[in-house]
Amino acid sequence: MTSSIAGTELVSATANCGCEAVFGTVNDQFSKHVAGYKGNNVVQRGKNVEQAARWSIPDLKDFFAEYAASVYQRRHHDGLVMPGFPDLRLSPNEAHALAVARSGYVACPTDITLREAIRLVTVRGGNPDNQDEVAATLRELQNRIDAPESWTTTDRRRRARDAERARTVARHQHRAAQNAKETSRLAAIPPLKAVPGPEKDGDNEPTSRRFDLGDLTTLPVWSPGNETQEG
């Protein structure tokens, strides 16, 4: 089985914890259940282990690929959570789908980057007038085939910050457009006109507010003790 070695970030004591957790999960769920498993310590394996091997390396590759695709990638992990939803647990497939929906998908880089850069420099490098075009083309190519998993922490933070700024600008532009529409709608409404007040008599009081209580008609009041009262 092939393996690759990648360096961790400097001054980061917890960088290997994620890898060790993955190895522990694979050991508990897959390795210990493989026929002929002798442990993870060479001292415990004994002599002539190859003669007692039950599976070949291609067989183990197929088994592990099936385990990774059918079990590990679909199993919910405590370490995969969504910000704002502390009780939600995600599988690697679900976390990848959310990441792609939020940040997009970029194919893993290949040696085409170097070949394309050499071709651009060779073909266009002699003309100083098109260096901006060369730089823009190369930058577009690098952005198209760059791999997010190769970014450093600073790159990831810068990308997230730029994306948030772009979303903020889009929100402000949308609000400005809505405010412009509301302003034009309000401008089409005719303004209110002043209404003259009520006429005044000689005492400088509005006639509509002066009345005599004696002019009011007295109405009968119903009383429970008055049996002669109608109704």
The strand pairing partners of 9, in sequence order, are none
Query: How many angstroms separate the CA atoms of 219 and 223, rounded?
Result: 13
Taking each continuous run of H as one helix and of E as one strand, the counts in the chain are 6, 0
Residue 32 · residue 12 · CB < 8 Å: no
- The mean-pLDDT minimum among 141-145, 175-179, 184-188 falls in 141-145
Rounded distance between C-alpha atoms, residue 110 and residue 113, angstroms: 6
Alpha carbon 221 to its chain centroid, in Å, reads 73
CA atoms within 13 A on the CB side of 167: 8
147-163 pLDDT, tens digit per residue, is: 565 556 666 677 778 77
Residue-range domain boundaries for the chain: 151-185
Among the listed residues 119, 160, 117, 105, the one whose alpha carbon sits nearest the alpha carbon of residue 141: 117
135 SS3 class: helix
Q: What is the mean pLDDT of residues 13-17?
A: 69
What share of the chain has pLDDT > 70, as a percent?
59
What pTM value is reported for the model? 0.40
d(Cα 97, Cα 82) in Å, to the nearest integer? 12
Length of the chain: 231
- Structure confidence by residue, pLDDT tens digits, 89-100: 788 888 888 888
| Residue 231 pLDDT > 50 | no
Q: How many CA atoms lie within 13 A of 99 on its CB side?
A: 14
Asked if 89 and 81 count as a contact pair (C-beta separation under 8 A), the reply is yes
Phi/psi at 72 (5° precision) = -65, -45
137 contacts: CB under 8 Å, gap ≥ 6: 120
Percent of the chain residues past pLDDT 90, beyond the cut: 0
Q: What is the pLDDT of residues 159-172, one digit of tens each?
A: 778 778 888 888 88
Residue 87: phi, psi to the nearest 5? Answer: -90, -5
Q: Under a CB-based contact definition with an 8 Å cutoff, are residues 108 and 147 in contact?
A: yes
> Is 50 exceeded by the pLDDT of residue 177?
yes
Chain segment 100-117, per-residue pLDDT in tens: 887 777 665 566 666 766
